[in-house]
Amino acid sequence: MNIAVILAGCGQLDGSEIHESVLTLLSIKQQNANYQCFSLNSAQEHVSDHLSRTNVSNESRNMLVESARIARGYIKPLEAIDINQFNALIIPGGNGIAYNLFDYASKGENFSVNPVIRDTCIAFTKVKKPVGFICIAPVMIPKIYPNKITMTIGTDHETTNLVTKLGAIHQNCNVDEICVDTAYKIISTPAYMLAKDIQEAYIGISKLVAKVVELA
Mean pLDDT confidence for 197-203: 97
For 70, the 3-state DSSP assignment is helix
Query: 135 catalytic, yes or no?
Result: yes
pLDDT reported for residue 202: 98
Residue 157 neighbours by CB under 8 Å, 6+ apart: none
Mean pLDDT confidence for 134-146: 97
pLDDT reported for residue 205: 98
What's the alpha-carbon Rg for the chain, to the nearest Å? Answer: 15
pLDDT reported for residue 46: 82
pLDDT reported for residue 53: 82
Mean pLDDT confidence for 201-212: 98
Of 53 and 34, the structure prediction assigns the larger pLDDT to 34
Q: How many CB atoms lie within 10 A of CB 63?
A: 29
pLDDT reported for residue 118: 97
Q: How many whole angstroms separate alpha carbon 31 and alpha carbon 174?
A: 23
Res 212 pLDDT > 90:
yes
pLDDT reported for residue 168: 96
Q: Which residue in 37, 121, 135, 173 is the catalytic one?
A: 135
Q: Whose CA is closest to 153, among 186, 189, 184?
A: 189
CA 122 to chain CA centroid, nearest Å:
14
pLDDT category at 43 given cuts 50, 70, 90 is confident
Q: What rounded mean pLDDT belongs to the chain? A: 95
Res 110 pLDDT > 80:
yes
Second-level CATH architecture of 2-215? 3-Layer(aba) Sandwich (3.40)
pLDDT reported for residue 30: 98
**pLDDT tens string 45-88:** 887 778 888 888 888 899 999 999 999 999 999 999 999 999 99
